[in-house]
Amino acid sequence: MGEIRTWINKEEYIKVLKKEVSVLQTRFKPHEEGTGHFNTTISVLNERINELESENSWPFPNATD
């Protein structure tokens, strides 16, 4: 299994999430059956990006537990 990265820089982490959103947007085809999960994932990632951008605490809450 891959190693889980500890994100030290919030801006870097947000940038990675935004890149993932842009990749998924290329895969979502609104008129094709079976691609709706991409739209759901895009929405969830965008919501997480919004949370991170408005969050004051960093790193993740309870990250040291």
* Residue 5 scores a pLDDT above 60: yes
Residue 48 three-state SS: helix
> What digits encode the pLDDT tens for the residues 7-62?
778 899 999 999 999 999 998 888 778 777 888 999 999 999 999 999 877 666 55
Is residue 40 within 8 A of residue 50, CB to CB? The reply is no
Give 59's DSSP letter. Answer: S
